[in-house]
Amino acid sequence: MIRVLFVCLGNICRSPMAEAVRNIVKEDGLSDKIEIDSAGTGDWHVGNPPHEGTRKILDTNRIDYIGMKARKVFTGDLTRFQYIICMDAENLGNLHRMAGYSETGFIGRLMDFVENSEIDDVPDPYFTGNFDEVYEMVTEGCKGLLKTIKEENNL
């Protein structure tokens, strides 16, 4: 099983949005080969459902998020997941500090998987309110990530 963890700050906006976009994995017939989860580097929202703005955009796009609850990244995640995908440089740095010198899965940013992207970070709609734009970025990044996973794992 290939495991992917999406990470943002509070795990209520961007990373659960990316987790919910697992429908592209299902459409590709890879649900039995790829497991997807999300977490935050902060603990402010642990146990809460996705943000109202995230729920609204997922509802609009008929994407299921039932049962999703925010959680904080824990050290074991760094070895359990082969792909740890951050939404921005701040979370990338937090995870690298958490990992220290231990061996981990791949840690990178979601926008690294968007060809010719001039944007490095997915902005946080908790502060900006731009859930539509973020959804488009997350979807494009997830499609690029899935392509990479398929190539690297001969799927």
Looking at residue 145, which CATH number applies to its domain?
3.40.50.2300
What per-residue confidence (pLDDT) applies to 101? 74
This prediction's pTM: 0.95
What is the set of active-site residues? 8, 14, 124
Which residues, given as ranges, of the chain have pLDDT below 70? none
Amino acid residing at 78: L
| pLDDT tens sequence across 41-56 | 999 999 999 999 999 9
Structural domain total, the chain: 1
The domain of 66 spans 2-152
